[in-house]
Each structure stands twice: as C-alpha cells, then as structure tokens.
Structure 1
Amino acid sequence: MQQDETLAASGNAAAKQWDSYSVLVVDDEPGMVNFIKRALESRCGSVHIAGSVEAAEPLVAQQRFDLIVLDISLPGMSGVNWLKLLRERGVNSEVILMTAFADVETAIDALRAGASDFLLKPFSLAQLINAARRAFERARLEAENWVLRREVASHASRSKVSRDGLIGHSAAITELRGLLQRFAPMPSTVLIQGESGTGKEVVARALHQLSPRANASFVPVNCAAITQELIESELFGHLKGAYTGAAASRDGLFYYARGGTLFLDEVAELLRVLEERSIRPVGSEQEIKVDVRVIAASNKPLADEVAAGRFRADLYYRLQVLELALPPLRERTEDLPELVAHFMDLLSPALGVAPVEVEPALLVAMAAYDWPGNVRELKNLIERSLILGYLPQDLPATRLPPAVGELAAGAVPAEESLSQVETRHIRAVLAACAGNKSEAARRLGISRKTLERKCLSWGE
C-alpha cells in the first residue's frame, strides 16, 4: 500500500498530460469505485461513476468519455454485453474491463467485445495507472493518425498544389521552381534567404521532398528559440553529467536527422559539422560521423550582416554553397489569385466553413498593397475572412484607396468607377486566357458561375 501511495505522489507531475481526459467508472462495489475514483481523480480532468449499465447509459449519452473502466459482473446487463452494444453504436472510447473471476474464455470475450485492456481483481494502484496510461496513449495515437489521414486526404485533393509546394506561375516563382529542381538532388548545403513570411520552411521541405532523402527525416529547428547555452546540446547531443542538469545522455537533432535533412531557421556554431560532417556530443571526446544535409535560412541578408560584423564570415561562406533568394509577395502579385484560392481550399475544410468569394476589384486592391508580412500575412487574412464569412474591406490588405485611379499608381484613369475597373480587369484576364472562362475564373479567384454572371450582365 505504501508503494501505491508513493506512486500516487510521483504521478502528479505526469498527470498534467491527462488533464483533458474524462473517465467513467462502472462498478457495483463501492470500495472498488472509491479506490479507482481517488486514483484517477487527481490525474484526469473528470471522473464519473455509475453502479450499473442502466445508470451509466445516460452519462454516455450526455458526453464522450476517453476511458471507461468497466466491471464485467454487474446487476442487470453485463459489462461485456454493454461493451458490444457501445461498439455497435460507434462509441470508440478506450475500455478497461475488470473481473474477479478470470479465465481464458472471459479474456477472449473481452477482447472480441472491443476491450483495450483487462484487469484481474484485486489489482494494485500501479496496475491501474499503467493500464490507464496505455489506454490514453492509444487514444492519443488514434487521434494523431486521424489527423494525419485527414491531412493526407486533404493534400491529395489539392490538385492545384504542385509537388514542390510552391503556388503561382510568376516569373520569380518559375525561376525558383527551376532552381529547386537543380538543387534538390545534390547533397550540398543550401542557404535560403528571404523576408519573414516568404515561405522559407516550405522551400526547405520542397528541397527535402524532391531529394533522394525524401523517405528519411526532415527535422526543422528554430534556433532562435534555443538559448545559446543549450544550442550545442540540442543539435549535437550530450553525455550524462556533461553539465549541471544533464541527468541522462541524450541524442541531438543531428542524430535524429541522420540520412535526412536538418533545417536550421537561424545559424549557430556549425563550422566543423559543415566541413567534416561530424559532430561531438557535449561531454564526449569522440566525434561521430553524420550523413545529414543542412539547409539554413535567414530573414536578413547575410552578406550585409557579415559586412557589418554581425555574422561570422567563415560560417557564411560554408553555408553559401547553394543559395536561394525567395521573392517577397509584393514582387509576385500576379500569383495572388492562385494563393488566395489555395488558402481558401486549405483552410475552409479545416475551419468547417464555406469559402468566401473574392471580387476581382478586391484582388486589384490587394495587388496594390505591399504585404510586409508576405504570404503568411495573406494566409492570416484568408483565415480571418473565413471565420468572419466575408473579406473585410477595412483591413490594410483590402482597403480600397479613395481615388480608384491610385490603385495602380496612375495606370488606371481617375475618372473610372470601381465597377469599370472591375470590368476592365476581368476582360483583360479573359483575353490573357484566350476566352477560357474556367482558367480566367481560377486566376481571378472566383467561381466560373460568378464570372459567367458578370459576363452576362455586360451582354457577353
């Protein structure tokens, strides 16, 4: 019993990860119910109790339980029969069955009914906690697998997104796409430079996916979020006792990225690794060879940082084997319709709301905006718009200037109305698409039905 109490005390720290889980205990023995309730109540978000299946039914109807701890022998319906009914109804909670009279046939029946674990009474606190831990771990993995399956299905349905993940067909993106194809098969270090929000990690992932390392790990590291004192330990690993607090040996991120790609969003002390492809865990005198492709990124021009003395020149020249410069969104505004459509397709199912229609005149205004937050800012705008149900006209990226003629720095006659600007823009896009309304609608970021309705209103 003393051992159980010790386990209960030591489990409090780990219990925090169970805060969101709810448990239902169904047993007609008050002593057993109180024991289980007391054990799980301090660890889980909520614990409900019932003395029979009949008393438990309304509770299950009211809320979803992550775990049901269920006795087999109950007054009225048995636990196994109720579990079969729950599974038939689609209730997929984790279930731990308990019994004082276990035999092989009972255990087989329990598993066939859909139980995830089996406890023989009387059991210890340690046995109960371990069974609950296994159940919650299974629930977590099931949830993660569901998200991954949904993500895969969502990606598969996005036919507009190319394999490299880049959206658009502007000259800048076309050139970048060509460089990706040339750089991806090479093992060389790549330095990606571009303003914040231009998609440096998207490009890094594209390099990985298009490379021979695609089946190995892609490990992104936000070096700016790691303290200078711990950066070596995080990247290269450490041995037990290497520094105060190093209670156990630990592998570094270079180890976990072996055979794959390590993406560093900021750069640290990497000279030996880049030159010799070897690491030395903190506290060790032995160097370990690693097969890792390094991709580094910076939102500041590193050549300027070197000239100003803020970045080590030797590190810069080792990173700058292959270099990619990502264009800011203001230099590729012709990609806006495709980007808007992409983020609508991406975020609409995730938020569970219908896409928002973007009028052509609004796209003209968006093209006149300088987008300091780049593609990330555009994505945030689309997400806000989907939540609101419309694209707000008072946001910086969608604010129409008082004089429509200012939209394109004098390219549009000042006497034109907003409707005339929209009409002229749609006709220009249609002409560029040789009259193909489906392609024109795609570029404009509207439905073909909307485009046809507008053409009809012009008598076309």
Structure 2
Amino acid sequence: MTSENPYSILIVDDDKSMRQSLVVLLEAAGWAALAVARAEVALEKLAEMSPDVVLSDVRMPGMSGLDLLARLKPMQAPPLVLISAHGDIPMAVQAIQGGAYSFVEKPYDPRRLLTILTHAAEKSRMRESNDLLKKRLFQLSGLDRVLLGKTDAVSELRHEILDLASTDTPILIEGETGTGKELVARALHDLSARSDRPFLALNCAALSSDTFEAEMFGVQGQSDGRLVRASGGTLFLDEVGSCAPDVQAKLLRVIEDGQVLPVGGFAPVSVRLRIVSATNIDVGQAVQEGTMRQDFLFRINTFVLSLPPLRQRRDDLTLLTSHFLGEYARVHNTSVPEISHDDLLALMAHDWPGNVRELRNVCERRVLQARRGTGNMAIAIRSDPHPDDVPDTLREAVAAFERELIGKAVKAHDGRMEAAAEALGIGRRTLNEKIVKLGLDKQALL
C-alpha cells in the first residue's frame, strides 16, 4: 500500500460509535474508509465503488452480516470480514464456510484487526491484478474473439482454457455438434508453449485400422509417420467416441509409452504430444456398451471441458448474431443488415440444434438476402438448400463445397494465403493446388 494508492474499506455497522472508532483507526493507519449503518446501503455502495475489503457487523436491523455475505458474488466481490460482539465458534464456522475471509469478535484487538484487514486487502489487490493480467492475455491471444459471449458459462470457459493451456494435462472436450470444440482445442494449443509446433487434428471416425500404423507411425526407411512429424505439438482426437477399439489400443500405447514403432522397424521412436480430445456422445455410456475402452478413456479425460449448447446461452444470441453479420457483410462486401425486433423474436424462438455453427450459416444467409434487398432472420432460419441446387454426383458436390469454403477463407483473410490455409486446416501448397484444380480465380474472389 502506498500513500498514492491506499487500501480502501467499506464498514457496515449499526452502532454509530463503533463506526466512528473504526474509521478513526483505519484512517490513522492510512486507509480510505467509508462507513454505513445498514447492509442494504452497503450493497448500493458496492455497486458504485470497489473497496479492497468489507468489514461488517453480524447482527444488524434488516439484513444481517451473514445475509450480506450471501448476497456477494465470491469471484467478483471484495473479501468480507465479519465482526460481532455476539460471536461464537458455530457462527464463525458458518461465516467461513459461507465465504467470509475471517471473523473477529468485539471488543477487538486493533493490531490483530488491522493485520487481518491488510491481508484481506492484499488478497483482493492480487486477485484484481490477476484479473487484469488475464484480461490482457485474452486481448493478446484473441481468446475473447474466438469464444464470443458474456454469459457466465462462456466466461468461465475462457478462464479454464487460459489456466489449462500452460499444462500438459490431457483434456476431453464435451459438447454437441457445432458448439466449437475444435476452436477450443486450437485455443488450448495456440496459448500453450507448444504453439510453434504442429497442431495435428485427426478425425477418429475416419481412421482406418488397416492403414493406421503406416500413416501414423511411419514406414521404416520410407517415411516418418504423422505422429512423429507432429512431435512436440498437440494431438487433437476429434470425434474420439467414433474411434475403432483396435485403434484406441494403438493410441493408448502411444499415450502411455510416448513412443511409436514404425512399420518394419526394430527401434521405437520417441514422440511428445499433448492430447486433446473431443466428443459429442456420452463416453460413459460408450464404455458400458463396449465401444470405448475404459483404460483409453481414463488416459484422455484427466480434465473435462463441457461446452454449453447455444440454447442454454440465449443471452449471447444478440452479440453473436451482430458479430457474424458483420463478419459476413465484410466477406460479401455489403452493408450489415439491422436486427429488428421481429428478428430478435425469431432468434429467441429457435432451438438452435446446430448451435453456433448453425447461427453462422443463418447469419450468412441473412447477409446474402439483405444484399438482394429481401428477407429477414425468420426466413434465414427456415432456409434449406433447394434440391435443384444439389450436384448430380458426389465428386461434383465435393468440388462445389471446396470452392465455396476456399472462396470464403480467401475473402475472410483478404487474400493472405498462409492465413487462409491455416483457417482451412491445410498446408499452403495444398491450398494452391486446390485453387488450380478447382479453377478458382484468386483475384475474382477478392
């Protein structure tokens, strides 16, 4: 504490002489002190100021000190120290269990009280400093832009990602389709010390038992496996619940031993990989049904991140919609359509089975409608692809999809091919080859 930045305290006590004596004591110690007579008034003051600590009497007319404690949000409110002439051990235990920093009996020892209050204020300043640091890290990392939202669930998720990114703990990300599981996995990688190493995303549903070892472990004297090339980075096992049992066994050995044996080889090769997995199924049920090995699950779910579906975070709908409308208006070089009252009603009434991914698609359809001077959000939500627009063959459908996806990525990143390739999850060379193969004109896309 310095004279330029003294500790501040809010005192709550219905006894006027007690309030005055506490103010004199604390101001003499260099504190900035404000005293009020009722807890109800203290709540109003807390909304206006941010004291380092609150010192409250327990028994007061109206709201008691314990009631005040219950009204404070533990992660946001300053530490609360309770003081009472009627205190006893059960009351002190109840106060501490309820989240109070400490409990002091009247008559108090001034030195002891000042020591307790100083420690509480130091804790408050440290927490505030950590919150500012995290906020700065969010801004630097772009995490607040990747995981948009102001609801408590999303805010807590951002904090968990930031805390877990610096560890090597295996993480299982649970969530419905479209909730952003790969975004979270990439954020964990990008914020880690492994960010300069590869992020290897494997679709477990597409892993073949027959070719797994050659592709992942490599072939002696011919090629390094994908796991070897990604060593030092992050291995993202997407749709891990769809992984074949024999592939699970092979992955389990890699996770446990940190080694792979190339096909035809005699000496194992060391690999260092941080394991992040994702699933949209009940893995516990999968274990019971025998489609997932229990020992494999135990190796990948040391920590579990659960992503909330969009229908459980409706307070974020307006923010997300505004962001996506702005994003696609820029991509399609048009003005951002306004969100009307009827649009809001349509957004809130929809159940969003496709979650954030569905909302993105709806917003792009709305932007395309607005560019033609038609449509609204309700129509955009109901829109389905017209059967006449579907190509006749699978090859044509895949090519059409790739053209659309690549076009969007190139536009979204203003022609920066490295950034577009990274967003698409492919290499720069592969992107160039696809542009040529699909007959895309980069300049026309911009």
The TM-score, its normalising length taken from structure 2, stands at 0.49
TM-score normalised by L of structure 1 = 0.47
